Amino acid sequence: MPSASAPTYAAIDFGASSGRVLAGRLVDGVVTLTEAARFVNRPVDLPDGRHWDLLGLYAQALEGLHAAGPLAGVGVDTWAVDYGLLDRDGRLLGLPYHYRDARTDGMVERSFARVSREDQYAVAGIQTMPINTVFQLEAERGSAALEAAERIALIPDLLAHWLGGELVNEATNASSTGLLDARTGRWSHALIERLGLPADLFGPTVEAGTTIGRLRPGLGLGDAAVHAVGSHDTASAFAAAPVTGEGGASTSAILSSGTWSLLGLELDAPVLTAAAREANLTNERGVDGTIRLLKNVMGLWLEQELSRTWHLHAAELQRLAAEADPDVPVLDIDDPAFLAPQDLPALIADRCRRTDQRPPATKGETVRTVFVSLAARYRWVLEQLEAVSGREIRTIHVVGGGVRNQLLCRLTADVTGRTVLAGPVEGTGMGNVLMQLRAAGELGSLSELRQLAAASADPRVYEPAPDRAAADQLYRRFLAVAGLDAAATPA
């Protein structure tokens, strides 16, 4: 059994609103995580659009690695879809664009004019969202950067390469691009060619749990291994979900709750049916070649926007929402207007008026409206997942920062009618470290990895309210407002 002097594995975990460096160690049969650094991730608005401050993030990550102490390994996970373009000398051709930049307006339609939605989904199985890499590259068409580019690197691929790793495309993040073959886990060069994109941009793919190099000597951090982990943060979060025991993953959904809510199932193979396409479900790669059949829901981005607008911390917003009148309006939380609103409180009020609902009267009611609408959307997604997969979902494992939002966890249990197990909070960092342990030979099968994840977590349990009438009435109201139909009963 590893002792207190167990090796340290640093997880660089960048979300869309914050970044952190966590020091993970396997001690006495559990993984412990210590925060070495945490920092805000703010976009930068330049004359040509909105970008990520990637150089600033990299510098802060290096500071965090130094604070983490002597290292045995490093892994990088971040949000998906965004990328850097590199020239033939490996130099970055401009700061990567932010997925909320307006350059993708109209690009979905333009891309589908080249290759139909049906044909793209049949290959990649990816949910149609304007932020997807395939639509960003459509916006990039004809640019000087794309003309000069020799390689594309998703954000975690790029950061791992700067640390000393080989320039590769890790499969879990590559699957979010809309250009990976969902069946093989490799680039679909046939689709890339049909879309008229440069085939040479796309390099070798590797699976999570692969060692891809050593830290560069000039960093002053020793020669620790650089590991490709589940570099899409959702893949790492899913890996850390403690889905063990009777039924396990077959009766459980996993909700990675942060800036985005990503709610789905872990499957052995993609689901590329017309029903999955019409439900706009996405088939993304997980660790060990699994498939995450899930849906992106707008998530706590809206809470973050209200926090920014009102200069109130999330804990205060949650307190106000808990004290608010529970009879609040509901929203179509995935309305594209919520992707990058200029004035979120005003937009919420406007959407309520358009749907013949009284707008929220207080800040607390506004926040509660967001949380109730999220919980209702989760129920709709769960019904779609059940209908498409044929599974019966009895439990929702919530991992990530949303675990701290007790009101949202409670509402999720009540509205969906399913047991919620909330934890771990640092699910993404945990999954990152677990895959590094796998790469270092300290873990074997996915089952063993999950057992360690369960031993390292202590989730809080939320049981749904036994009286379902109020939840069902709220859900019917949500379906009407959002213009949605309830899913058919699974076969």
pLDDT tens digit string along 6-40? Answer: 999 999 999 988 999 999 999 999 999 999 999 99
Pairing status of strand 9-14 against strand 73-77 = parallel
Whether domain 9-228 has CATH 3.40.50.1100: the reply is no
SS (H, E, C) the chain: CCCCCCCCEEEEEECCCEEEEEEEEEECCEEEEEEEEEEECCEEEECCEEEECHHHHHHHHHHHHHHHCCCCEEEEEECCCCEEEECCCCCECCCCECCCCHHHCCHHHHHHHHCCHHHHHHHHCCCCCCCCHHHHHHHHCCCHHHHHCCEEEEHHHHHHHHHCECCCEEHHHHHHHCCECCCCCCECHHHHHHCCCCHHHCCCEECCCEEEEECCHHHCCCCCEEEECCCEHHHHHHHHCCCCCCCHHHHEEEEEECCCEEEEEEECCCCCCHHHHHCCCEEEECHHHCEEEEEEECCCHHHHHHHHHHCCCHHHHHHHHHHCCCCCCCCCCCCHHHCCCCCHHHHHHHHHHHCCCCCCCCHHHHHHHHHHHHHHHHHHHHHHHHHHHCCCCCEEEEECHHHHCHHHHHHHHHHHCCEEEECCCCHHHHHHHHHHHHHCCCCCCHHHHHHHHHHCCCCEEECCCCCCHHHHHHHHHHHHHHCCCCCCCCC
What pLDDT, on a 0 to 100 scale, did the predictor assign at position 204?
Answer: 93
**Residue 315: is its pLDDT beyond 80?**
yes
Question: Given a cut of 50, is residue 490 above it in pLDDT?
Answer: no
Distance spanning both ends of the chain, measured CA to CA:
46
Residue 378 near residue 415, CB atoms below 8 Å: yes
Angle between helices 427-439 and 233-240 (to 10 degrees): 80
Domain-wise residue ranges, the chain: 9-228, 243-423+459-491
Half-sphere exposure of 247 (CA within 13 A, CB side): 10
Note the pLDDT of residue 450: 87
The reply to whether 9-228 and 243-423+459-491 are identical in fold is yes
Task: Tell me the C-alpha distance between 172 and 154, whole Å.
Answer: 11
Nearest Cα residue to 208 out of 233, 183, 189, 188:
233
Say whether pLDDT at 245 is over 70.
no
Quick check: 78 and 16 in contact, CB under 8 A? no
Q: Which token pair is 285?
A: 């790669």
Contact by Cβ (8 Å): 292, 284: yes
Segment 276-301, tens digit of pLDDT: 999 999 999 999 999 999 999 999 99
- N residues, the chain: 491
Q: Pairing between strand 169-170 and 205-206? A: parallel
- Angle of helix 363-389 relative to helix 406-416, nearest 10 degrees? 50
Strand 395-399 versus strand 252-257 pairing type: parallel
The least confident of 302-311, 374-383, 447-456 is 447-456
CB atoms within 10 A of CB 183: 15
Mean pLDDT along residues 321-331: 97
Q: Per the CATH hierarchy, to which homologous superfamily does domain 243-423+459-491 belong?
A: ATPase, nucleotide binding domain (3.30.420.40)
Q: Which residues are catalytic?
A: 233
Q: Return d(Cα 470, Cα 419) in angstroms, integer.
A: 17
Other CB atoms within 10 A of residue 89 CB: 6
pLDDT in tens, 388-409: 999 999 999 999 999 999 999 9
Give me the pLDDT at residue 488, please.
Answer: 55
Model pLDDT for residues 148-175, shown as the tens digit of each residue: 999 999 999 999 999 999 999 999 999 9
Task: State which amino acid sits at residue 130.
Answer: P
Mean pLDDT for 441-460 is 90
φ, ψ dihedrals at 27, nearest 5°: -135, 125
Minimal CA–CA distance to 281: which of 264, 270, 294? 294
Residue 454 predicted with pLDDT over 80:
yes
Q: What is the pLDDT of residue 244?
A: 73
**Residue 101 predicted with pLDDT over 50:** yes
- Cα-to-chain-centroid distance, residue 114: 28
Burial of residue 58 (CB within 10 Å: 0-12, 13-18, 19+) is middle
Over 50: is that where the pLDDT of 2 sits?
A: no
Distance of CA 307 to the CA centre of its chain: 21
φ, ψ of residue 35 in degrees (nearest 5): -80, 120
Contact by Cβ (8 Å): 185, 30: no
- Conformational region of residue 483, where left means phi above 0, alpha means psi within -120 to 50, and beta covers everything else: left
